Structure 1
Amino acid sequence: MNPYKDENNSSAPYEVASSSSLSRQILSKVPEITIFFWIIKIMATTVGETAADFLTFNLNLGLTQTTIIMSSFLLIALFIQFRSKRYVPAIYWLSVVMISVVGTLITDNLVDNYGVPLETTTIIFTFALIVTFALWYKSEKTLSIHSIYTAKREAFYWFAILFTFALGTAAGDLVSEGFDVGYWKSALMFATMIGIVTVAYYRINLNSVTAFWIAYILTRPLGASIGDYLSQPLSAGGLALSTMEISTVFLVTILGLVVYLTKTRKDEYVIVKEE
Protein backbone atom coordinates (compact mmCIF):
# COMPACT_ATOMS: atom_id res chain seq x y z
CA MET A 1 0.00 0.00 0.00
CA ASN A 2 1.72 3.16 -1.21
CA PRO A 3 0.20 6.52 -0.30
CA TYR A 4 2.87 8.31 -2.26
CA LYS A 5 0.26 8.98 -4.86
CA ASP A 6 -1.99 11.97 -4.72
CA GLU A 7 -5.73 11.85 -4.22
CA ASN A 8 -6.13 11.23 -7.97
CA ASN A 9 -3.67 8.32 -7.80
CA SER A 10 -0.99 10.03 -9.84
CA SER A 11 2.49 8.63 -9.53
CA ALA A 12 3.99 11.65 -7.77
CA PRO A 13 2.72 14.23 -5.32
CA TYR A 14 3.49 17.06 -7.68
CA GLU A 15 3.36 16.63 -11.46
CA VAL A 16 5.55 18.88 -13.60
CA ALA A 17 3.20 20.55 -16.07
CA SER A 18 5.68 20.75 -18.95
CA SER A 19 9.34 20.52 -19.70
CA SER A 20 9.59 24.30 -19.46
CA SER A 21 8.12 24.41 -15.96
CA LEU A 22 10.40 25.40 -13.15
CA SER A 23 10.56 22.80 -10.42
CA ARG A 24 12.66 21.87 -7.45
CA GLN A 25 13.21 18.73 -5.48
CA ILE A 26 12.43 18.59 -1.78
CA LEU A 27 13.40 15.74 0.51
CA SER A 28 10.39 14.45 2.41
CA LYS A 29 10.52 14.41 6.21
CA VAL A 30 8.86 10.98 6.33
CA PRO A 31 9.76 7.68 4.63
CA GLU A 32 8.37 6.18 1.47
CA ILE A 33 5.81 3.52 2.30
CA THR A 34 7.45 0.16 1.65
CA ILE A 35 7.14 -3.26 3.26
CA PHE A 36 9.87 -2.14 5.67
CA PHE A 37 7.67 0.73 6.85
CA TRP A 38 4.85 -1.60 7.86
CA ILE A 39 7.15 -4.16 9.48
CA ILE A 40 8.86 -1.54 11.63
CA LYS A 41 5.55 0.19 12.39
CA ILE A 42 3.91 -2.99 13.72
CA MET A 43 6.99 -3.89 15.76
CA ALA A 44 7.15 -0.34 17.14
CA THR A 45 3.51 -0.55 18.24
CA THR A 46 4.20 -3.84 20.00
CA VAL A 47 7.22 -2.30 21.72
CA GLY A 48 5.01 0.58 22.81
CA GLU A 49 2.84 -1.89 24.69
CA THR A 50 5.55 -4.11 26.19
CA ALA A 51 8.07 -1.36 26.97
CA ALA A 52 5.45 0.71 28.76
CA ASP A 53 4.52 -2.31 30.90
CA PHE A 54 8.17 -3.15 31.56
CA LEU A 55 9.05 0.34 32.72
CA THR A 56 5.87 0.76 34.74
CA PHE A 57 5.68 -2.60 36.47
CA ASN A 58 8.97 -4.48 36.14
CA LEU A 59 11.10 -1.47 37.04
CA ASN A 60 8.44 -0.20 39.46
CA LEU A 61 8.54 3.32 38.07
CA GLY A 62 4.76 3.62 38.13
CA LEU A 63 2.60 5.13 35.42
CA THR A 64 3.15 8.77 36.37
CA GLN A 65 6.92 8.64 36.58
CA THR A 66 7.21 6.49 33.46
CA THR A 67 5.01 8.94 31.54
CA ILE A 68 7.12 11.92 32.61
CA ILE A 69 10.39 10.20 31.66
CA MET A 70 9.22 8.87 28.30
CA SER A 71 7.46 12.13 27.41
CA SER A 72 10.76 13.94 28.00
CA PHE A 73 12.57 11.53 25.67
CA LEU A 74 9.80 11.96 23.10
CA LEU A 75 10.12 15.75 23.15
CA ILE A 76 13.88 15.45 22.61
CA ALA A 77 13.39 13.01 19.73
CA LEU A 78 10.78 15.25 18.09
CA PHE A 79 12.96 18.32 18.55
CA ILE A 80 15.74 16.57 16.63
CA GLN A 81 13.24 15.33 14.04
CA PHE A 82 11.89 18.84 13.40
CA ARG A 83 15.41 20.26 13.19
CA SER A 84 16.37 17.72 10.55
CA LYS A 85 16.10 18.92 6.96
CA ARG A 86 15.17 15.51 5.58
CA TYR A 87 14.07 12.05 6.55
CA VAL A 88 16.71 10.32 8.66
CA PRO A 89 15.71 6.71 9.51
CA ALA A 90 17.25 6.64 12.99
CA ILE A 91 15.66 9.93 14.06
CA TYR A 92 12.27 9.23 12.51
CA TRP A 93 11.87 5.70 13.90
CA LEU A 94 13.18 6.71 17.31
CA SER A 95 10.39 9.29 17.37
CA VAL A 96 7.84 6.65 16.35
CA VAL A 97 8.96 4.24 19.07
CA MET A 98 8.89 7.00 21.69
CA ILE A 99 5.46 8.22 20.60
CA SER A 100 4.23 4.62 20.66
CA VAL A 101 5.25 4.26 24.30
CA VAL A 102 3.84 7.66 25.27
CA GLY A 103 0.57 7.03 23.43
CA THR A 104 0.17 3.78 25.37
CA LEU A 105 0.95 5.52 28.65
CA ILE A 106 -1.58 8.29 28.01
CA THR A 107 -4.37 5.75 27.65
CA ASP A 108 -3.12 3.67 30.59
CA ASN A 109 -3.03 6.77 32.80
CA LEU A 110 -6.60 7.70 31.93
CA VAL A 111 -7.86 4.17 32.55
CA ASP A 112 -5.77 3.07 35.54
CA ASN A 113 -5.08 6.34 37.36
CA TYR A 114 -8.29 8.23 36.64
CA GLY A 115 -10.76 5.42 36.11
CA VAL A 116 -11.87 6.52 32.64
CA PRO A 117 -13.61 3.58 30.92
CA LEU A 118 -12.02 2.14 27.78
CA GLU A 119 -15.18 2.97 25.85
CA THR A 120 -14.77 6.62 26.79
CA THR A 121 -11.06 6.79 25.97
CA THR A 122 -11.75 5.17 22.60
CA ILE A 123 -14.37 7.83 21.85
CA ILE A 124 -12.15 10.66 23.13
CA PHE A 125 -9.17 9.73 20.96
CA THR A 126 -11.35 8.99 17.95
CA PHE A 127 -12.74 12.51 18.26
CA ALA A 128 -9.25 13.98 18.79
CA LEU A 129 -7.99 12.22 15.66
CA ILE A 130 -10.96 13.39 13.58
CA VAL A 131 -10.43 16.98 14.74
CA THR A 132 -6.71 16.74 13.90
CA PHE A 133 -7.47 15.46 10.41
CA ALA A 134 -10.14 18.14 9.91
CA LEU A 135 -7.80 20.98 10.94
CA TRP A 136 -4.97 19.49 8.89
CA TYR A 137 -7.12 19.24 5.76
CA LYS A 138 -8.66 22.69 6.26
CA SER A 139 -5.20 24.21 6.53
CA GLU A 140 -3.30 22.21 3.89
CA LYS A 141 -6.05 20.78 1.62
CA THR A 142 -4.47 17.33 1.85
CA LEU A 143 -3.79 14.58 4.38
CA SER A 144 -1.21 12.90 2.20
CA ILE A 145 2.01 12.21 4.05
CA HIS A 146 4.00 12.55 0.85
CA SER A 147 3.42 16.31 1.08
CA ILE A 148 5.14 16.73 4.45
CA TYR A 149 8.00 19.16 3.95
CA THR A 150 6.99 22.09 6.19
CA ALA A 151 7.02 22.35 9.97
CA LYS A 152 3.29 23.01 10.04
CA ARG A 153 2.43 19.86 8.11
CA GLU A 154 4.88 17.87 10.17
CA ALA A 155 3.23 19.09 13.39
CA PHE A 156 -0.17 17.93 12.13
CA TYR A 157 1.41 14.61 11.17
CA TRP A 158 2.90 13.91 14.60
CA PHE A 159 -0.26 14.95 16.43
CA ALA A 160 -2.16 12.49 14.24
CA ILE A 161 0.40 9.78 14.97
CA LEU A 162 0.13 10.37 18.73
CA PHE A 163 -3.64 10.09 18.67
CA THR A 164 -3.53 6.93 16.52
CA PHE A 165 -1.34 5.29 19.16
CA ALA A 166 -3.50 6.39 22.07
CA LEU A 167 -6.66 5.36 20.19
CA GLY A 168 -5.15 2.03 19.16
CA THR A 169 -4.23 1.22 22.74
CA ALA A 170 -7.73 2.02 23.97
CA ALA A 171 -9.47 0.19 21.12
CA GLY A 172 -7.19 -2.83 21.38
CA ASP A 173 -7.73 -3.18 25.13
CA LEU A 174 -11.45 -2.57 24.74
CA VAL A 175 -11.85 -5.37 22.21
CA SER A 176 -9.49 -7.91 23.80
CA GLU A 177 -10.29 -7.23 27.47
CA GLY A 178 -13.45 -5.13 27.64
CA PHE A 179 -15.36 -7.27 25.14
CA ASP A 180 -13.49 -10.40 26.28
CA VAL A 181 -12.50 -11.35 22.74
CA GLY A 182 -9.01 -12.38 23.82
CA TYR A 183 -5.60 -11.24 22.66
CA TRP A 184 -4.82 -13.54 19.75
CA LYS A 185 -8.37 -13.32 18.40
CA SER A 186 -8.19 -9.53 18.60
CA ALA A 187 -4.87 -9.55 16.75
CA LEU A 188 -6.37 -11.79 14.06
CA MET A 189 -9.41 -9.54 13.77
CA PHE A 190 -7.36 -6.36 13.32
CA ALA A 191 -5.01 -8.10 10.87
CA THR A 192 -8.04 -9.20 8.84
CA MET A 193 -9.34 -5.63 8.78
CA ILE A 194 -5.99 -4.42 7.48
CA GLY A 195 -6.15 -7.15 4.85
CA ILE A 196 -9.59 -5.95 3.75
CA VAL A 197 -8.30 -2.37 3.41
CA THR A 198 -5.35 -3.63 1.35
CA VAL A 199 -7.63 -5.59 -0.98
CA ALA A 200 -9.91 -2.55 -1.30
CA TYR A 201 -6.94 -0.40 -2.24
CA TYR A 202 -5.60 -2.77 -4.91
CA ARG A 203 -8.89 -4.15 -6.23
CA ILE A 204 -11.46 -1.35 -6.04
CA ASN A 205 -9.14 1.66 -6.06
CA LEU A 206 -9.81 2.85 -2.54
CA ASN A 207 -8.28 6.32 -2.20
CA SER A 208 -4.62 5.87 -1.32
CA VAL A 209 -4.57 8.47 1.46
CA THR A 210 -7.70 7.03 3.04
CA ALA A 211 -6.33 3.49 2.78
CA PHE A 212 -3.05 4.52 4.37
CA TRP A 213 -4.57 6.20 7.41
CA ILE A 214 -7.08 3.40 8.04
CA ALA A 215 -4.30 0.82 7.88
CA TYR A 216 -2.04 2.99 10.04
CA ILE A 217 -4.70 3.34 12.72
CA LEU A 218 -5.44 -0.40 12.69
CA THR A 219 -1.78 -1.39 13.10
CA ARG A 220 -1.82 0.12 16.61
CA PRO A 221 -4.50 -2.16 18.13
CA LEU A 222 -2.91 -5.00 16.16
CA GLY A 223 0.44 -4.31 17.80
CA ALA A 224 -1.16 -3.82 21.21
CA SER A 225 -2.97 -7.15 20.92
CA ILE A 226 0.21 -8.92 19.82
CA GLY A 227 2.15 -7.37 22.69
CA ASP A 228 -0.47 -8.35 25.24
CA TYR A 229 -0.76 -11.86 23.82
CA LEU A 230 2.98 -12.38 24.12
CA SER A 231 3.35 -10.86 27.59
CA GLN A 232 0.15 -11.52 29.53
CA PRO A 233 0.00 -14.54 31.90
CA LEU A 234 -1.34 -17.87 30.72
CA SER A 235 -4.37 -17.49 32.96
CA ALA A 236 -5.31 -14.33 31.04
CA GLY A 237 -4.87 -15.95 27.64
CA GLY A 238 -1.31 -14.81 26.97
CA LEU A 239 2.01 -16.59 26.49
CA ALA A 240 3.59 -15.15 29.66
CA LEU A 241 6.80 -14.07 27.91
CA SER A 242 9.00 -11.46 29.56
CA THR A 243 8.22 -7.88 28.54
CA MET A 244 11.95 -7.14 28.67
CA GLU A 245 12.76 -10.01 26.32
CA ILE A 246 9.96 -9.07 23.91
CA SER A 247 10.97 -5.41 23.87
CA THR A 248 14.65 -6.30 23.40
CA VAL A 249 14.04 -8.67 20.48
CA PHE A 250 11.75 -6.23 18.71
CA LEU A 251 14.02 -3.24 19.34
CA VAL A 252 17.08 -5.11 18.04
CA THR A 253 15.11 -6.08 14.93
CA ILE A 254 13.98 -2.49 14.41
CA LEU A 255 17.57 -1.31 14.85
CA GLY A 256 18.79 -3.79 12.24
CA LEU A 257 16.20 -2.62 9.73
CA VAL A 258 16.94 1.04 10.44
CA VAL A 259 20.66 0.43 9.83
CA TYR A 260 19.78 -1.33 6.57
CA LEU A 261 17.55 1.54 5.44
CA THR A 262 20.17 4.09 6.41
CA LYS A 263 22.78 2.34 4.27
CA THR A 264 20.56 1.60 1.26
CA ARG A 265 18.29 4.67 1.43
CA LYS A 266 15.54 2.48 -0.01
CA ASP A 267 12.79 4.44 1.70
CA GLU A 268 13.99 7.97 1.04
CA TYR A 269 11.45 9.99 -0.92
CA VAL A 270 12.01 13.07 -3.05
CA ILE A 271 9.12 15.46 -3.70
CA VAL A 272 9.09 17.28 -7.01
CA LYS A 273 7.42 20.64 -6.39
CA GLU A 274 6.43 23.11 -9.06
CA GLU A 275 7.61 26.66 -8.61
Structure 2
Amino acid sequence: MRSNPRSPLEDAVSKVPAITFGFWIIKIAATTLGETSGDWVTMSLKLGYLVGSLIFLAGFLVLVSAQIRASRFYPVLYWATIVATTTLGTTLADFCDRSLGVGYPGGVSIVATLLVASLAVWYRVEGTVSVGSVVSARAEWFYWITIMFSQTLGTALGDWVAGEDRGGLGLGYEVGAAIFSGGLLITALLRLWPRISRTALFWVAFVLTRPLGATLGDLLDKPVAQGGLHFSRFYASGVLVAFIAGCILLLPQRAASRVNSAM
Protein backbone atom coordinates (compact mmCIF):
# COMPACT_ATOMS: atom_id res chain seq x y z
CA MET A 1 0.00 0.00 0.00
CA ARG A 2 1.34 3.44 -0.86
CA SER A 3 1.73 5.77 2.04
CA ASN A 4 0.11 9.18 1.99
CA PRO A 5 2.44 11.86 0.60
CA ARG A 6 3.87 14.24 3.18
CA SER A 7 3.15 17.92 2.87
CA PRO A 8 5.98 20.48 2.60
CA LEU A 9 5.03 21.75 6.07
CA GLU A 10 5.48 18.29 7.58
CA ASP A 11 8.91 17.97 5.99
CA ALA A 12 10.04 21.47 6.98
CA VAL A 13 12.53 21.97 9.77
CA SER A 14 11.58 23.91 12.91
CA LYS A 15 14.21 26.38 14.03
CA VAL A 16 12.62 27.30 17.35
CA PRO A 17 13.08 25.23 20.54
CA ALA A 18 10.64 22.87 22.18
CA ILE A 19 8.81 24.50 25.09
CA THR A 20 10.35 22.86 28.14
CA PHE A 21 11.08 23.92 31.72
CA GLY A 22 14.60 24.85 30.60
CA PHE A 23 13.12 27.10 27.91
CA TRP A 24 11.34 29.20 30.54
CA ILE A 25 14.42 29.41 32.79
CA ILE A 26 16.52 30.81 29.94
CA LYS A 27 13.65 33.04 28.78
CA ILE A 28 13.32 34.73 32.19
CA ALA A 29 17.09 35.24 32.41
CA ALA A 30 17.12 36.66 28.87
CA THR A 31 14.35 39.12 29.72
CA THR A 32 16.22 40.24 32.83
CA LEU A 33 19.31 40.74 30.66
CA GLY A 34 17.22 42.79 28.23
CA GLU A 35 16.25 45.12 31.05
CA THR A 36 19.76 45.62 32.46
CA SER A 37 21.53 45.91 29.10
CA GLY A 38 18.84 48.14 27.60
CA ASP A 39 19.05 50.49 30.60
CA TRP A 40 22.86 50.41 30.39
CA VAL A 41 22.82 51.68 26.81
CA THR A 42 20.05 54.27 27.20
CA MET A 43 20.75 55.48 30.76
CA SER A 44 24.29 54.60 31.81
CA LEU A 45 25.78 55.51 28.42
CA LYS A 46 23.20 58.34 28.12
CA LEU A 47 22.38 57.57 24.49
CA GLY A 48 18.64 58.03 25.03
CA TYR A 49 15.67 55.84 24.20
CA LEU A 50 15.41 56.69 20.51
CA VAL A 51 19.10 56.07 19.75
CA GLY A 52 19.07 52.94 21.91
CA SER A 53 16.01 51.65 20.07
CA LEU A 54 17.65 52.24 16.69
CA ILE A 55 20.80 50.40 17.81
CA PHE A 56 18.86 47.41 19.06
CA LEU A 57 16.53 47.45 16.05
CA ALA A 58 19.59 47.02 13.82
CA GLY A 59 20.77 44.09 15.93
CA PHE A 60 17.28 42.58 15.91
CA LEU A 61 17.04 42.71 12.09
CA VAL A 62 20.52 41.22 11.63
CA LEU A 63 19.87 38.33 14.03
CA VAL A 64 16.37 37.57 12.74
CA SER A 65 17.72 37.49 9.18
CA ALA A 66 20.47 35.08 10.30
CA GLN A 67 17.91 32.95 12.13
CA ILE A 68 15.72 32.72 9.02
CA ARG A 69 18.69 31.84 6.79
CA ALA A 70 19.84 29.11 9.19
CA SER A 71 19.28 25.54 8.02
CA ARG A 72 18.26 24.19 11.42
CA PHE A 73 17.82 25.09 15.10
CA TYR A 74 20.96 26.62 16.62
CA PRO A 75 20.47 27.32 20.35
CA VAL A 76 23.07 30.12 20.57
CA LEU A 77 21.63 31.94 17.55
CA TYR A 78 18.05 31.51 18.75
CA TRP A 79 18.74 32.84 22.24
CA ALA A 80 20.86 35.70 20.92
CA THR A 81 17.85 36.70 18.84
CA ILE A 82 15.59 36.46 21.91
CA VAL A 83 17.97 38.74 23.83
CA ALA A 84 17.83 41.17 20.89
CA THR A 85 14.03 41.27 21.19
CA THR A 86 14.22 41.88 24.95
CA THR A 87 16.65 44.79 24.66
CA LEU A 88 14.67 46.30 21.80
CA GLY A 89 11.47 45.77 23.77
CA THR A 90 12.98 47.56 26.77
CA THR A 91 14.01 50.66 24.85
CA LEU A 92 10.83 50.78 22.74
CA ALA A 93 8.62 50.58 25.83
CA ASP A 94 10.65 53.30 27.56
CA PHE A 95 10.45 55.43 24.42
CA CYS A 96 6.64 55.10 24.33
CA ASP A 97 6.17 55.63 28.07
CA ARG A 98 8.63 58.48 28.55
CA SER A 99 9.73 60.14 25.32
CA LEU A 100 6.23 60.16 23.78
CA GLY A 101 4.76 61.29 27.08
CA VAL A 102 1.84 58.85 27.09
CA GLY A 103 2.72 57.41 30.49
CA TYR A 104 2.72 53.77 31.50
CA PRO A 105 -1.03 53.13 30.87
CA GLY A 106 -0.75 54.71 27.43
CA GLY A 107 2.36 52.70 26.59
CA VAL A 108 0.68 49.46 27.67
CA SER A 109 -2.37 50.27 25.52
CA ILE A 110 -0.30 51.06 22.43
CA VAL A 111 1.90 47.99 22.63
CA ALA A 112 -0.99 45.65 23.57
CA THR A 113 -2.83 46.83 20.44
CA LEU A 114 0.26 46.14 18.30
CA LEU A 115 0.65 42.66 19.81
CA VAL A 116 -3.00 41.73 19.22
CA ALA A 117 -2.76 43.06 15.65
CA SER A 118 0.40 41.02 15.02
CA LEU A 119 -1.25 37.82 16.27
CA ALA A 120 -4.43 38.52 14.30
CA VAL A 121 -2.59 39.10 11.01
CA TRP A 122 -0.37 36.07 11.60
CA TYR A 123 -3.42 33.89 12.29
CA ARG A 124 -5.30 35.22 9.27
CA VAL A 125 -2.37 34.57 6.92
CA GLU A 126 -1.07 31.27 8.34
CA GLY A 127 -4.21 29.84 9.98
CA THR A 128 -2.35 29.28 13.27
CA VAL A 129 -0.03 31.05 15.69
CA SER A 130 1.34 27.81 17.13
CA VAL A 131 5.09 27.58 17.74
CA GLY A 132 5.05 24.19 16.04
CA SER A 133 4.01 25.84 12.77
CA VAL A 134 7.06 28.13 12.57
CA VAL A 135 8.72 26.24 9.71
CA SER A 136 8.73 28.79 6.87
CA ALA A 137 10.41 32.16 6.38
CA ARG A 138 7.07 33.97 6.40
CA ALA A 139 5.97 32.27 9.63
CA GLU A 140 9.35 33.06 11.18
CA TRP A 141 8.97 36.76 10.45
CA PHE A 142 5.50 36.70 12.03
CA TYR A 143 6.94 34.78 15.00
CA TRP A 144 9.78 37.21 15.65
CA ILE A 145 7.68 40.35 15.18
CA THR A 146 5.13 38.94 17.62
CA ILE A 147 7.93 38.00 20.03
CA MET A 148 9.27 41.55 19.86
CA PHE A 149 5.87 43.11 20.57
CA SER A 150 5.27 40.66 23.44
CA GLN A 151 8.62 41.63 24.97
CA THR A 152 7.77 45.32 24.61
CA LEU A 153 4.35 44.80 26.23
CA GLY A 154 5.94 42.88 29.09
CA THR A 155 8.35 45.74 29.75
CA ALA A 156 5.54 48.28 29.73
CA LEU A 157 3.46 46.12 32.10
CA GLY A 158 6.36 45.72 34.52
CA ASP A 159 7.01 49.47 34.59
CA TRP A 160 3.30 50.24 34.99
CA VAL A 161 2.91 47.94 38.00
CA ALA A 162 6.17 48.86 39.76
CA GLY A 163 6.60 52.55 38.84
CA GLU A 164 5.28 55.42 40.91
CA ASP A 165 5.38 58.19 38.28
CA ARG A 166 3.83 58.46 34.79
CA GLY A 167 0.58 56.85 35.93
CA GLY A 168 2.26 53.82 37.47
CA LEU A 169 0.59 51.77 40.20
CA GLY A 170 3.60 52.22 42.48
CA LEU A 171 3.59 48.67 43.86
CA GLY A 172 7.37 48.31 43.74
CA TYR A 173 9.65 45.77 42.10
CA GLU A 174 9.30 43.02 44.71
CA VAL A 175 5.49 43.13 44.63
CA GLY A 176 5.55 43.34 40.85
CA ALA A 177 7.75 40.25 40.61
CA ALA A 178 5.37 38.42 42.97
CA ILE A 179 2.32 39.41 40.91
CA PHE A 180 3.79 38.23 37.63
CA SER A 181 5.14 35.05 39.22
CA GLY A 182 1.62 34.35 40.46
CA GLY A 183 0.26 34.96 36.96
CA LEU A 184 2.74 32.46 35.55
CA LEU A 185 1.76 29.90 38.18
CA ILE A 186 -1.93 30.29 37.29
CA THR A 187 -1.08 29.94 33.60
CA ALA A 188 0.85 26.74 34.32
CA LEU A 189 -2.08 25.32 36.31
CA LEU A 190 -4.49 26.13 33.48
CA ARG A 191 -2.56 23.65 31.32
CA LEU A 192 -4.30 20.96 33.37
CA TRP A 193 -7.61 22.05 31.81
CA PRO A 194 -7.67 20.28 28.42
CA ARG A 195 -10.20 22.64 26.83
CA ILE A 196 -7.88 25.66 27.02
CA SER A 197 -5.66 26.24 23.99
CA ARG A 198 -2.01 25.43 24.67
CA THR A 199 -1.08 28.02 22.06
CA ALA A 200 -3.01 30.75 23.90
CA LEU A 201 -1.40 29.75 27.20
CA PHE A 202 2.05 29.88 25.60
CA TRP A 203 1.62 33.48 24.47
CA VAL A 204 0.16 34.53 27.83
CA ALA A 205 3.14 32.97 29.60
CA PHE A 206 5.56 34.52 27.11
CA VAL A 207 4.17 37.98 27.83
CA LEU A 208 4.17 37.45 31.62
CA THR A 209 7.80 36.31 31.77
CA ARG A 210 8.86 39.67 30.32
CA PRO A 211 7.54 41.89 33.15
CA LEU A 212 8.88 39.33 35.64
CA GLY A 213 12.30 39.71 34.05
CA ALA A 214 11.86 43.49 33.85
CA THR A 215 11.04 43.81 37.54
CA LEU A 216 13.94 41.52 38.45
CA GLY A 217 16.24 43.63 36.27
CA ASP A 218 14.99 46.84 37.85
CA LEU A 219 15.40 45.29 41.29
CA LEU A 220 19.07 44.67 40.45
CA ASP A 221 20.03 48.02 38.95
CA LYS A 222 17.70 50.72 40.25
CA PRO A 223 18.87 53.00 43.11
CA VAL A 224 18.16 51.92 46.68
CA ALA A 225 15.92 54.97 47.11
CA GLN A 226 13.71 53.58 44.33
CA GLY A 227 13.53 50.11 45.85
CA GLY A 228 16.39 48.57 43.87
CA LEU A 229 19.75 47.07 44.87
CA HIS A 230 21.78 49.55 42.78
CA PHE A 231 24.06 46.96 41.15
CA SER A 232 26.11 48.05 38.15
CA ARG A 233 24.07 47.50 34.98
CA PHE A 234 27.20 46.50 33.11
CA TYR A 235 28.31 43.85 35.60
CA ALA A 236 24.76 42.59 36.20
CA SER A 237 24.42 42.12 32.43
CA GLY A 238 27.74 40.22 32.32
CA VAL A 239 26.60 37.84 35.06
CA LEU A 240 23.33 37.22 33.24
CA VAL A 241 25.15 36.52 29.95
CA ALA A 242 27.31 33.93 31.75
CA PHE A 243 24.23 32.36 33.37
CA ILE A 244 22.38 32.11 30.04
CA ALA A 245 25.44 30.60 28.36
CA GLY A 246 25.69 28.00 31.13
CA CYS A 247 21.99 27.14 30.78
CA ILE A 248 22.33 26.71 27.01
CA LEU A 249 25.23 24.31 27.56
CA LEU A 250 23.69 22.34 30.43
CA LEU A 251 19.94 22.31 29.78
CA PRO A 252 18.56 20.11 26.97
CA GLN A 253 17.83 22.06 23.78
CA ARG A 254 15.93 20.55 20.87
CA ALA A 255 13.85 21.86 18.00
CA ALA A 256 10.09 22.06 18.43
CA SER A 257 7.95 19.33 16.92
CA ARG A 258 6.13 20.20 13.71
CA VAL A 259 2.50 20.48 14.68
CA ASN A 260 -0.29 21.69 12.41
CA SER A 261 -2.41 23.04 15.22
CA ALA A 262 -4.52 26.18 15.21
CA MET A 263 -5.32 28.50 18.05
**Shared fold (TM-score greater than 0.5)?**
yes
Aligned: 1:139 with 2:125: yes
Aligned match of 1:22 = 5
**In the aligned structure 2, how far is the partner of 1:103 from the partner of 1:136?**
20
Aligned: 1:222 with 2:212: yes
Residue 200 of structure 1, aligned match among 190, 215, 219: 190
Cα RMSD (Å): 1.9
Residue 55 of structure 1, aligned match among 18, 35, 41: 41
Aligned: 1:267 with 2:254: yes
**In the aligned structure 1, how far is the partner of 2:3 from the partner of 2:35?**
52
Aligned match of 1:39 = 25
Q: Which shows bigger deviation, 58-67 or 95-104?
A: 58-67
Report how far residue 205 of structure 1 moved.
Answer: 4.8
**In the aligned structure 1, how far is the partner of 2:212 from the partner of 2:76?**
24
Residue 166 of structure 1, aligned match among 152, 158, 177: 152
Give the AA of the match of 1:21: N
Report how far residue 26 of structure 1 moved.
Answer: 2.8
Aligned: 1:257 with 2:216: no
1:37-116 aligned at under 5 Å gives the runs 37-116=23-102
**Secondary structure at 1:27 match in 2:** coil
**In the aligned structure 1, how far is the partner of 2:195 from the partner of 2:175?**
29
Aligned: 1:130 with 2:116: yes
Q: Deviations over 1:143-198 (max 9, x none)?
A: 11111111111111111111111111111101111101110100000000110011
Q: Which shows bigger deviation, 93-102 or 108-117?
A: 108-117
**In the aligned structure 1, how far is the partner of 2:94 from the partner of 2:12?**
39
Q: Which runs of 5+ in 2 are unaligned?
A: none
Aligned match of 2:201 = 211
Say which structure, 1 or 2, has more relative contact order (CA 8 Å, 6+ apart). Answer: 1
Q: Deviations over 1:227-267 (max 9, x none)?
A: 11121111111111221121111111112222346xx6x32
**Secondary structure at 1:136 match in 2:** helix
Give the direction of change, closer, same or farther, for the CA distance of 1:43–1:272 in structure 2 (3 Å limit): closer
**Secondary structure at 2:132 match in 1:** helix
Give the AA of the match of 1:163: F
Aligned residues: 253
- Counting aligned pairs with the same residue, the percent is 36
- Contact map agreement 2:133 2:259 (CA 8 A) in 1: no
Q: Which runs of 5+ in 1 are unaligned?
A: 1-17
**In the aligned structure 2, how far is the partner of 1:185 from the partner of 1:117?**
20
Give the AA of the match of 2:215: S
Aligned match of 2:235 = 245
**Secondary structure at 2:12 match in 1:** strand
**Secondary structure at 2:4 match in 1:** coil
**In the aligned structure 1, how far is the partner of 2:56 from the partner of 2:229?**
27
Report how far residue 75 of structure 1 moved.
Answer: 1.4
